[in-house]
Structure 1
């Protein structure tokens, strides 16, 4: 089995969805690369299938495809310019293919939502068909597997990523524990050792701290934005008002001063709980607005790990940058186990595959930096996932807003509780292993009706009156 880096699970992204925005964006970029000389292209058609068609508008799939084909990188683009650029493409009927070729492209004709067709391999599928000079054609089908991962029709793997095997492969919880025991290492130490198959020791630390800065900055942006989220549901941003009440007029000038101020806040349980909620809401309100976030392991669940990590930064004694690195490495490694043995795609497994997995990752990271043994770290992840089993994905209006945003706050609180339970327990007494709960999650995902897998055809999505395009 191919190894997966912790930094493929926790990485820089853009809202609102890793499977419906980042994945299609990346697929469009891959197709663009295969085209080569874009000036030879005379026409282009894109078809979206399954979940990508059914909730593509609300998740920004169309926007992602247009930006990817325009040659943009979602980790670098100025997100505030996206609406204007998409509007220009629609109005002009021209697509700046690769950023240099002004290609005729009618949005309503050339970007097709195949609502009635789901390809057998995966619920998130898309195809690109280009006609070039001389009648030459190029057609490719890609699948968005969740978390921004993309597979091609031909090889079943991300085309540009060569397989890497770590020195101490961990493809299950049992493997992880066995390697920790054999080497006498903690989970984060083992992950740090394996991560050197991809990058240097210095780069590992640098990458983790870059992600931490992005997390902190995203929360900061989120708590300073008020108003309503885009999309037509008229969902009001709540992090702004909660943040203002909690700070009670205390001032600051920079994000660093703000961060230091948070670390001096009261540790009263009720206040801390409200802060955790505020952190989670802030991230996912940014996510819902096409903001830059850290995908962990998906965008719909992007607020859980930031909320728990910021909780640790603000309210745990002695929490420093070394512990930030250990938290991220541990959380990322746990996420790889779900990716390899189940799914992190809501279109395949419901919201248990997103909020559930992120809560398990956060619980493991928190247990690790709180002094937990490898056995307790895995138990924390197991407890968190056990209490998300069966969670459906039923986005109202196909938007990553209701119930997605609040679920991040709930997932964060569950992660903190799961870590506490594990740290106060003897893992030898546990009757459920992490591997068992991952297997159960996957079986539950396969049994779950497709209406509850990011289609907006069941659950809250059909019981909340809305007036948005996909309803």
Structure 2
């Protein structure tokens, strides 16, 4: 299966791609199937009521991640890319008060969130730790349709059948000019073609879309990323969820901007701006704002922060620079997702911030003139030094340690790109080996450390 740049970078809302965007998308998919005649039912059978249940990691941290709210919004017909964040509370309140949802093009369905939406911590669905199940009943309470979906990371949602098919397919089977499934394939194709990684990724995208549409889509993605940084810097106050975490991006910017205006150089300047941009994005994400999966919401700050940092310190950056950066990052992200995972519920935060850091390092190395071998080296360095990182969000919220962790991921990405550019691309540990190590580490990692908030900081911070 070919993973497009727009499969990696999806516009949506916070705080979680797998736990917020995924459930909303799954609910919409169930509605779409209800509206068709592709499922068996009696001629006079009409859906009148809907129930939903969340399983595995979605059940354990769904409340903190807004998964239940997302299901309600999805059953109201809302989509992560187009939903108005300012209208969400009103839609949810209406559903809770009426005990119904009325999505466009559908009849009114009975759906009482307090009764019909279950966080089932005891019965995980086989196949993936992020499982959802929806059911529709007629007016007499007879079951008409039941469907399971899985939120597999980065906002992607698949059915049980699609999940099984994914495990049998490979990017190497895709009908594109450069079907690389592994980093070794990517480097071999780059050497044979003389093209950069970004150019190969572009050629693959243009096999099914026009150059104009591709560039417009990438520009839209960057526009949302960039605007998210600006909103995060402008906002102040306490983040929702009960931890009383204060936004810090605005106050950090207030300290940095006067130094910049005075041309005052400090030893910490690069790290400060990187951290500011990353934290601004993830504070917006934690507040439920508009973000881009990069490759997930929990890791959404790393990739935009590194690009914005480059633009801050390099006046020659252009729209094409941004496109090459994101295309390169998406190429690396696709390899990681195919061969391991970008889901914290599957492999811990090494798959989220670790993957984002590798993608950003690759992109930065590429736009600074790195060869494909140096780009692969940059991605490996960044990922290697996130191996074993757990996902243990305090109170199930995408705040602690997630916000600061994005800042560190951005700093590591720049460091990795710098180290790679100082070498010639030869190194002992190759990206494919590092990705496989991450996959194996995720399998060995206790479920307590994979987005369940059952161990680590999630337990010890509360205990203190």
DSSP-derived class of the 1:29 partner: helix
Corresponding residue of 1:254: none
The answer as to whether partners of 2:12 and 2:82 remain within 8 angstroms in 1 is: no
Change in Cα spacing, 1:116 to 1:47, as seen in structure 2 (3 Å) is same
| 2:184 pairs with 1:206 | no
Of the candidates 138, 141, 144, which is equivalent to residue 137 of structure 1? 144
Question: 1:267 offset after TM fit, Å?
Answer: 6.0
Q: Cα–Cα, structure 1 residues 265 and 326, in superposed 2: closer, same or farther, change >3 Å?
A: farther
CA contact (8 A) 1:308 1:416 kept: yes
Deviation per CA, 1:307-343: give whole Å up to 9, x if none.
Answer: 0010011112421111111000000110000110000
Whether 1:219 aligns to 2:218 is no
Moved over 4 A (4+): 133-136, 264-269
Give the distance between the partners of 2:10 and 2:159, measured in 1 at CA: 21
Q: Does residue 51 of structure 1 match 2:83?
A: no
Cα RMSD of the aligned pairs, angstroms, is 2.1
1:152-187 per-residue CA deviation (whole Å, 9 max, x = no partner) reads: 0133258xxx99531210100011001111100111
Count of residue pairs the alignment pairs up? 450
1:458 corresponds in structure 2 to 455
- The Cα shift of 1:94 comes to 2.1
Superposed, 1:360-439 pairs within 5 Å as 360-428=358-426, 430-439=427-436
Aligned 8 A contact 2:364 2:414 in 1: yes
- 1:136 positional shift: 5.9
Is the Cα–Cα contact under 8 Å of residues 379 and 434 in structure 1 kept in the other structure? yes
1:149 corresponds in structure 2 to 156
Give 1:196's aligned residue: 206
Moved more, 216-225 or 113-122: 113-122
Unmatched runs of 5 consecutive residues or more in structure 1: 251-260
Deviations 1:217-241 (A, max 9, x none): 1111111110000011100000011
CA contact (8 A) 1:128 1:141 kept: yes
Cα pair distance change 1:331/1:66, threshold 3 Å: same
2:178 counterpart of 1:172: no
Deviation (angstroms), 1:349: 0.3
Which runs of 5 or more residues in structure 2 are unaligned?
38-44
Give, in whole Å, the separation in 1 of the partners of 2:265 and 2:369.
20
CA contact (8 A) 1:358 1:411 kept: yes
Q: CA deviation at 1:249?
A: 10
CA contact (8 A) 1:266 1:272 kept: no
Q: 1:64 to 1:266 in 2, by over 3 A?
A: farther
When normalised by structure 2's length, the TM-score is: 0.93
Preserved CA contact (<8 Å) 2:47 2:144: no
Pair 1:148–1:267, CA change in 2 (3 A): farther
Q: 2:88 aligns with which of 82, 96, 108?
A: 82
Q: CA deviation at 1:25?
A: 1.0
Q: Distance in 1 between matches of 2:267 and 2:360?
A: 19
How far apart are residue 389 of structure 1 and its match? 0.0
8 Å Cα contact 2:72-2:113 kept in structure 1: no
Tell me, yes or no, if the aligned pair for 1:397 and 1:466 is still in contact at 8 Å: no
Match of 1:318 among 316, 341, 348: 316
TM-score normalized by the length of structure 1: 0.91
CA contact (8 A) 1:45 1:128 kept: yes
Match in the other structure for 2:41: none
Question: Relative to 1, partners in 2 of residues 1:164 and 1:70: Cα closer, same or farther, differing over 3 Å?
Answer: farther
- Distance in 2, matches of 1:34 and 1:178, equals 43
Flag the 1:155–1:167 CA change in 2: closer, same or farther, 3 A: same
Instruction: State the secondary structure of the residue aligned to 1:125.
Output: strand
Cα deviation code 1:332-383 (max 9, x no counterpart) = 1100001100001000000000000000000000000000000000000000
Partner in structure 2 of residue 23 of structure 1: 22
Quick one: which of 329, 347, 350 aligns to 2:327?
Answer: 329
CA distance in 2, matches of 1:424, 1:132: 66
1:253 corresponds to: none
CA distance in 2, matches of 1:151, 1:24: 11
- Matched-pair contact (CA < 8 Å) for 2:330–2:359: yes
Corresponding residue SS for 2:268: helix
Assess if the C-alpha contact under 8 Å between 1:32 and 1:98 holds in 2: no
2:448 matches 1:442: no
Q: Report the more deviating stretch, 87-96 or 402-411.
A: 87-96
